[in-house]
Structure 1
Amino acid sequence: MRERADQLVLNYVSRAADAAHGVLRSEQRLDFARRLRARIEAEVGGSENPRAVAKVLDRFGDPAALVEREARRLATTDSATDSATGPGSGTGPGTSPGSGPATGAGFAGGPAATRPAAGAPGTGLGPGGTRRFPAVRDDTLHAPHRAGQQRGSRSTSLGLPFAGLRRVAMSTANPMATGGRDARTVVKEHPREIGALVILVAAALLVPFGLPSLAIFPVPLVVWAAGTAVVLLSESWEARDRFLGAGAPLLGYAVGGVLVGGLRVGAEPGFDTFMTEFWAVSGTMFMIGTGLGVVWLAYRLLDLT
């Protein structure tokens, strides 16, 4: 579980570093990635739950947008440095005007005598000399969106039902629509969970074949039990989703079989007639329940962020 959470953070920072190529200098890019990871880890607060980590990363937003904001901050800092630097200021011919804020003394932790004043425009330093990292998405990027929500605006699709599913559907046309997460990424990051879904689908597909029982247990039931065990042991889903997805086949088999079988009894009531109809439809209802459970679990896995 910890490995999955760490992989989510590593993937996000790697995407940010890739977006910084050609935008930031190498030393600026390395410093940006280091501060980004430190900020993410501070926001995560030591949580090992991949879902919680994914929600934190979603608050940070598009890594490319963070890179653009960092580039603008550095450009503003460089302009302020150039304005403050004049003849006799001590800037030698070997000094790069843009190197101050990105390396050495420009960072919190550098020599105190050479740090920019806390809160000075363009320095990126907050009160007390602590370097500010660009605010996460909830703080600034979508402030107009939040204001629109408070006014009852419905001009945006954020927060609407099944937004994650729509992002996945859009990913083939625009990879950034899912923030880098699509079906292939989910398969790579959650092979055990995908395997469990495949086992559940196999259990449903075995129902029509009428295979001989193993001891007293039907083969589809045994296969379903194996898939259910993997689902229940996984921590990528919330407990509610695990029980709902894994229990849907049994609900379909029992509840669906009783309801549909009872409706099919018709004008010939009786226990024997009911059981005949129950056995006739329960397998089909098991397959339907399995399909619904697998679709729900897959959606929740895709909608992790």
Structure 2
Amino acid sequence: MKNQLHQLYAQEPLSRDAAYETLSRIGNGRATDIEIAAVVSAVNMRPAVLSEIQGFRDAMLELAHPIDLGGRETIDIVGTGGDGKNTFNISTLASVVVAGAGYPVTKHGSYGVSSNVGSSDVLQALGYTFTNDQDTLLRTLDRTGICFFHAPLFHPAMKNVVPIRKSLGVRTFFNLLGPLLNPARPKYQVFGTYDRQVARIYDYLLQDETGREFSIVHALDGYDEISLTGAASVRSRERQRLLHPQDFGLPALTTEDLHGGETAEDGKAIFLAVLNNAATPAQRDVVCANAGLAIHTIHPDRSLPDCVAEAAESLSSGRALGVLNRLIN
């Protein structure tokens, strides 16, 4: 670990192998809290580096609790978090809406670290019980159209890191890793990133993963999802484009429109308001935009406005609410 720390503090990027060794040591409990904090701080002090993200990801996936979907084709919608915008749980709501539209979802997420309320915080407040039992999760997926992979149960390596991340209270390279660590490796995935360089790194990594289709989102004003507050860069296997609110057939929003609650109970209230068709038009629109992009990732031949309309119908018909009710019950 000492050699890696010398490199990091000299602003020298770690090789993929060195990054793998570093995170393997942390994940296996062979690093002290001081060493972990030193690595996190040093990596945090400069832009993301491809070789390090590759090596860190290799180690995390090797140590992860695996899930075999048995050939099921699913989608995940997940952002890095750490954008500092304190929005409500847009990606989790979009996941429920997509499931309500008939597309199986395997959602990966965790507690909020650099934001007030994460996806796990809201689901726990709603009464969802986390598990990493494969049979239970697949049964839930088949019955409800969605299941949730609570990251701490699938990535035991994180137990040595979470207290330090909580103490730091800022985004770290683990924010960048999170969306890349879905243990089921779903066929389709929408990745949200708060940083353009991170979006490029994701694109490079995912181009090598044949058989997976993806959309990588970076809002130019810093959101890690489609915010409708301005233009967003969206990368897929085939192309990169700049999408504006009008491309979704929706009006532009303001930062205030997307503000989330301060507690899990606040997040729960917004969550239920959206699914019960009692939310503000802005809250509904941003959820439908992200759900629509997910559907478009599965069906790129369909127009974005048509995919948004499909998402909106999942909400207005009550099918999305039905998904949540079955999931919780």
Common fold, TM-score beyond 0.5? no
Higher relative contact order (CA 8 A, sep 6+): 2
Name the structure with the higher strand share.
2
Name the structure with the higher helix share.
1
* Bigger CA radius of gyration: 1
TM class by smaller structure: under 0.3
TM-score scaled by structure 1? 0.23
